[in-house]
Structure 1
Amino acid sequence: MIIVTGATGQLGRPLVEQLLRRVPAERVGVSVRSPEKLADLAARGVRVRRGDFAEPESLAHAFEGASQLLLVSVDATGPEAVARHAAAIDAARAAGVGRVLYTSHQGVSPTSPFPPMPDHAATEKLLAESGIAYTSLRNGFYASTTLQLLGDALDSGKLYAPEDGPVSWTTHADLAEAAAVILADGERGMAPFDGPTPALTGPRALDLSDVARIAGEVTGRPVERIVVPDNQWRDQLIGHGVPEPQADLLLGLFRASRAKEFAETGPTLGDLLGREPLDLHGFLTESL
């Protein structure tokens, strides 16, 4: 049985839907904090059980009988994130899970200025030391982030942000489908990736000037990209009510992109999908 965590999220839910196209429902289970939110999946034959990484005792029942576990990284950073991932890995080992697939990132690095990247590096280290077979999905940067970065720029016509660098924007939908392909292959005894995968990315790496240009093309409303100093941008965020730790995290994204930590592209995602991944123009056309 394949168990998917985080199945109510932007990645987990479409991943389950993709799995159900490839694997019988009785071979699919989900581990979620609020099972009542997935009553529709239960009605379709998916096993829905409560599991919370913050409550390790809940995971034995949630992971019971799993041949593969899709471990979706938590929406947290720092020691809290790593501790929750460690709890899930420990529970997977205790449950006899055959393979863990972890949603890591193409920019994984213990020294990255973007806080989630060291967390991914620490989690990959835990997996490597766990004794469990694992696959680390080196996912590209979620294209949905561009919508947050654009903010009100479509109305104002001006996109203010610190200096940035190229990013391999990649959609949740494509990454969910690719993970489902790998999991379905695993159920047939195939393991195309052991350890970290190559970068799973969209076709091109684009910076915010490109994002602004494409957004203008899609909407017919030109957007000017304006670079502002790091500290000025951070102070503006805090002045608008963003907590300082969150402002620092967001600033880390720009610093990491300037170092080209998210610039790698490659063919692996397209190979898994059997088609070209959706590019940023296509994503923004669908989203704006």
Structure 2
Amino acid sequence: MTESIGVTGATGVVGAETARLLVKAGHSARLIVRDPSRAPELPGTEVAVAEGYSDVKGTEEALSGLHTVFLVSGRESADRVSEHRAAVDAAVAAGVRHIVYLSFLSAAKSATFTFARDHWATEEYVKASGLDFTFLRPSLYQDVLPHLVQDGVIRGPAGQGRCSWVARTDVAAVAAAILPHPDLHRGRRYDVTGPQSLTMAQTAGMMGVEYVDETVEEAYASRARYGAPDWEVAGWVTSYEAIATGEMDIVSPTVQRATGYPATSLQQFLKSLG
């Protein structure tokens, strides 16, 4: 069995599936979690607890002795970049050598999607840390699509833009293929997408619902009823705007190349939901 690979966010879908696939392939993993009672029970794993990325000391202890760590991006928040920076600082202090960071497709300083800007800022911090790195940049998840349906329709300012929706299980499979061989992927950035790029109207049609194309102003107004903080609403709206601008219209062969099987299509994903 190889030396242990650190997997943060191991109670989430991507983290847990990555750990499962690592163990299935004969690797050992250390699961870094907030709540040990929710950690997946997998042979060949150990569990370490840290109270979130802002808990620098706890995260440093949880990562101590690891060479390679899968840094799953933290849940969306107003201070997400600060939390990511704290996690990177903890990794450096713990002696970690290589971080595989779960970023986002088209992450850039000037990205339309506000959360993509957060991912770019995190990538820049990782690069400046002196750590070896690999960045995985997945598209928007297929798994979120059912949650976009409100009152029987999907609404947003996506226009005629396209998105290459990706399955979270495919993202985990790519991570599990890369983590045991960090030297082969040092300094690389991989877009991780589904096999096709679809408009929101096509996407909604496959789901059996209607797509209503909103203006940006209408999108903010229709979401005001939820009472969410401004940063969260901006994230919701700009995710559609990023589709409209073409920033999500990227189809990459990464899943096929890393795993040997084709990326999950939206049709396949929807069929799996029953």
Find the partner of 2:20 among 10, 17, 20: 17
Instruction: Determine the structure 2 residue equivalent to 1:161.
Output: 156
1:192 is paired with a residue of what secondary structure? helix
Instruction: Determine the structure 2 residue equivalent to 1:224.
Output: 210
**Structure 2: segments with no counterpart, 5+ residues:** none
- Preserved CA contact (<8 Å) 1:30 1:46: yes
Instruction: Determine the structure 2 residue equivalent to 1:32.
Output: 33
Find the partner of 2:251 among 265, 269, 280: 265
Instruction: Determine the structure 2 residue equivalent to 1:282.
Output: 268
> 2-side partners of 1:34 and 1:105: how far apart?
26
> 2-side partners of 1:39 and 1:106: how far apart?
28
Find the partner of 2:5 among 2, 17, 35: 2
Matches within 5 A, 1:25-174: 27-38=28-39, 40-41=41-42, 44-51=43-50, 52-78=52-78, 80-153=79-152, 158-164=153-159, 165-174=161-170
Please identify the structure whose Cα radius of gyration is greater.
1
Query: Does the C-alpha gap of structure 1 residues 92 and 147 become closer, same or farther in structure 2, counting only changes over 3 Å?
Result: same
Amino acid at match of 1:108: A
Amino acid at match of 2:202: D
Query: Does the C-alpha gap of structure 1 residues 174 and 39 become closer, same or farther in structure 2, counting only changes over 3 Å?
Result: closer
Query: Does the C-alpha gap of structure 1 residues 84 and 242 become closer, same or farther in structure 2, counting only changes over 3 Å?
Result: closer
**Structure 1: segments with no counterpart, 5+ residues:** 217-222
> 2-side partners of 1:84 and 1:139: how far apart?
20
Residue-pair matches, total: 269
Instruction: Determine the structure 2 residue equivalent to 1:220.
Output: none
Find the partner of 2:194 among 202, 224, 227: 202
After TM superposition, give the deviation of residue 77 of structure 1 in Å: 4.0
- Preserved CA contact (<8 Å) 1:77 1:119: no
> 2-side partners of 1:266 and 1:16: how far apart?
24
- Preserved CA contact (<8 Å) 2:135 2:190: no
Amino acid at match of 2:154: L
Query: Does the C-alpha gap of structure 1 residues 83 and 199 become closer, same or farther in structure 2, counting only changes over 3 Å?
Result: same
Amino acid at match of 2:191: A
> 1-side partners of 2:131 and 2:142: how far apart?
31
> 1-side partners of 2:40 and 2:26: how far apart?
19
Query: Does the C-alpha gap of structure 1 residues 264 and 133 become closer, same or farther in structure 2, counting only changes over 3 Å?
Result: same
After TM superposition, give the deviation of residue 83 of structure 1 in Å: 1.2
> After superposition, what is the alpha-carbon deviation per residue over 1:152-208, rounded to whole angstroms, capped at 9, x for unaligned?
42xxxx43332332111000001101100111234xxxx332224231111111121
> 2-side partners of 1:198 and 1:38: how far apart?
28
> 1-side partners of 2:230 and 2:71: how far apart?
29
CA root-mean-square deviation: 1.7
Amino acid at match of 1:21: K
> After superposition, what is the alpha-carbon deviation per residue over 1:185-233, rounded to whole angstroms, capped at 9, x for unaligned?
34xxxx33222423111111112111112112xxxxxx33222222223
After TM superposition, give the deviation of residue 287 of structure 1 in Å: 2.1
Query: Does the C-alpha gap of structure 1 residues 196 and 119 become closer, same or farther in structure 2, counting only changes over 3 Å?
Result: farther
After TM superposition, give the deviation of residue 275 of structure 1 in Å: 1.0
- Identity of matched residues, %: 28
